Amino acid sequence: MKKLISFFLVLTTSLLLTTAISDTLDTSHILRDNGETLISSGDTFELGFFSPGNSTNRYIGIWYRNIPLQTVVWVANRANPIPQTSSATLTLFHGGLLLLLNHTNAALWSTNTSTPAHDPVARLLDSGNLVVVDRHNPDKYLWQSFDYPTDTLLPGMKLGWDSTSGLNRRISSWKGPDDPSPGELSFGVELDVQPQSILWRGTAKYYRAGPWNGMRFGGGPELRSNTVFRFRFASGPEEHYYTWWPVNKSVISRLVVNDTAGARQRYVWGQGSWRLYGSVPQDYCDGYGLCGPNGVCAIIDVPSCECLPGFEPRGGGCERGELAEGCNGKSDFVRFTDLKVPDTNSSWMNRNMSLVECREACVGNCSCTAYASRDIRDGGTGCILWFGDLYDIRRYSSGAQDLFIRIPSLDTGSGGRKREVLIVTISIAIGLLLLSLGIIYFCRKRKRPNRQLSQSRNKKLDLPLFDLSTLTKATDNFSSDNKLGEGGYGPVYKGLLDDGGEIAVKRLSTSSHQGVDEFMNEVICTAKLEHRNLVKLLGCCIHGDEYMLVYEYLTNKSLDLILFDPVKSMELDWPTRIKIINGIARGLMYLHQDSRLRIIHRDLKASNILLDSDMNPKISDFGLARAFGGNETGANTKRVVGTYGYMSPEYAVDGLFSVKSDVFSFGVLVLEIISGERNRGFSHRDHSLNLLGHAWMLYKEEKALELAGFGFEYRCYASNVLRSIQIGLLCVQESPEERPTMSSVVLMLSNETVLTRPKQPGFFTGRLTLEATHENSTSSKTPSSVNEMTITTFDGR
């Protein structure tokens, strides 16, 4: 009898365990709200009953199984919760109908399977998809949760239309963290003439990523395929959908619409937390149609809205001027580059036309206001014509699309108008001719002294000189394929010398905000520097108007490309991060006290820290540096240059810089390296503090370890991490006198001496705007106030 009882106990336990770990629900089982769940075969997702946040209501949903923070990706009964006073079961009926029933057997939610199954099962897949299939035909889905998404788009899910079933797949936000019912935001694909992705607030367009141009949605820079994600849009007779997936299948990522943030966000799981990879809207110009009809928004301009050529400002937008004559007026087309093309609501599309045929079609229709290629691949194919007003155009600095816009011809109008245009044209031509003659005279006058100046500079540089032909050959004629990046100075190219040596060539751009003076400054400051944590200057090239610096090439490029990338940053364990911090500290100490001249860098930031193959850091970009001799330790300037987020308060506001300004920048870098977050643009759901303020708050609350951005590993190095955070806070103290010198910092990092408690950091209360900073700088009453604020926000190599 005992053996029989034992047998039944083992059998019962086995059945319970099987129910708990199975990925399948069949007609002989019921899923109850008593802890029972379905678990996908790869142990990735789990389905069961849950209560979100502080809510007491119950829902049936799917969440990640092995992520400590419960992250729900799908909710069945989001609009019909189970009250706390009730209970419910999930049941699969014969035929394949999946039903959520309450304690009175009333249906709270059900599937709508149209094709009956002989032996149905509901199965949770490792993709996070709950499917209903016939056990004998498991590859044919009779119903799937991926067709009815909630707020999350997982890899492989389709967003868009299925014409055979009539499905329009959209994701819509939760109302709040405690309420999964549909909120105001939704994200999907609008078909119209040319499919485009839209973020709606209610029924109004809130953000538009533009039409699909063969490679991406034209106005969505974050939707470009890269080394981390791939994107695809499929358009056929039965389906029009967008989908995405990570290149590395081990990357855990999700795309959500967030009502609270008012944004569509992409997250990547790494180092113990969800890290924001991208978000839209990103800025003012991402708002739908903010500049009104026929207006163009450009975030780099002030004001940011402007009218298209031939249009005049009128009532919150722009109205057509000469083009209002319609077919009675003559017109031309002007090509505009790097635009998000207008909303395709009032447009016409042809898949097969060439760009020339597209232009002819627009010329032949006087109602046509613009045209563009439908597909930008292979030089452009297909045609889109726009009619009437043009809405939601945005200008980007690069990487967007060409748009050809109809503008009035100069010969449009009456004879009087023609005479007016002729007079103005002749006047302008004469003026330009006189100006050109003056410029030629001036240039010829200066030509000989400039040649002498270049020769004297060459002698003064005392550096190896590279021929222009050598660098042209090494970089394959400065090919875009060899371009490593671009900063305020100009582009940087990778080069390969004849002897096999790899170099980085920094080429002064003709449109550079910096210039020859900064070029010479960088050469003079770095020519004699020799330290393992400073990038090595190999030589330079001065040839006519060409100015180039030649540096050693570093395999891992700049720190920011790894540190702020949710996937790549996983390579940075704590030993690597502290090695980088120590290396930067030693390099900076050398500049401040051990080099031939005392050098203040003035632009220390993550993009100016380069990493070699062993992840050793090297400080680079000395274009803004200042050298001092003797006992000089600082100076005052009326022209503030540097990068917002790294500048010390006394420098940004009063133009006072010293070695302590670099110490402040170093402190910001330390906190960024520990947290994996940028100081500039840092945001937190609970407050408006920047990264410095956030670190300061956590330190005061004795929760400083929460700043660590590299997962649970920090627990093994807790004391070391805490010490580094404290050193970072000491370096960003508001008063420069309170900040340590770099020699003191190196000492603190290398031993266990007791540290003083840091005081309040500077610039910690929130995310200051450039306008606010400029106001502060110009309204200061002190004699040394900043009269010119030049803040460079360019990314380094």
Is 147 considered catalytic here?
no
Beta bridge partners of 199: 187, 207
Name residue 229's beta-bridge partners: 246
Q: How far is CA 266 from CA 254, 258, 388, 440, 505, in A?
A: 6, 10, 35, 55, 35
Cα dihedral across residues 151, 156, 161, 162: positive or negative: negative
Query: Which among 553, 495, 488, 485 is positioned nearest to 522, based on CA atoms?
Result: 488
8 Å CB contact between 585 and 749:
yes
Phi and psi torsions of 514, nearest 5°: -90, -155
Alpha-carbon distance of 227 to 550, in angstroms, equals 28
Cα-only R_g, the chain:
32
Contact 286, 340 (CB under 8 A): no
Starting at the earlier edge strand, list the strands of the sheet with 253-258. Answer: 152-153, 253-258, 263-270, 273-280
**Token pair in block for residue 134:** 């016939």
CA distance to 154, 253, 689, per residue, from 270 (Å): 16, 9, 23
Checking DSSP bridges between strand 639-640 and strand 788-789, what pairing results, if any? parallel
DSSP of 274-315: EEEEEEES-SGGGSTTTT-TTEEE-TTSSSSEEEPTTEEEET
Indicate which residue of 134, 286, 389, 603 is catalytic.
603
Q: What is the torsion angle, in degrees rounded to the nearest 10, for the CA atoms of residue 27, residue 33, residue 36 and residue 40? A: 70
CA 309 vs. chain centroid, Å, equals: 31
Residues 395/396/398/403 CA torsion (nearest 10 deg):
-30
Measured CA to CA, the distance from residue 514 to residue 527 in angstroms comes to 19
Q: Which of 517, 536, 520 is nearest to 528 (CA)?
A: 536
Q: What is the dihedral of CA 92, 97, 103, 105, to 10 degrees?
A: -130
Work out the number of other CB atoms within 10 angstroms of the CB of residue 352. 9
Report helix, strand or coil for 405: strand
- Tokens 């974050």 belong to 222
Catalytic positions, written as ranges:
603
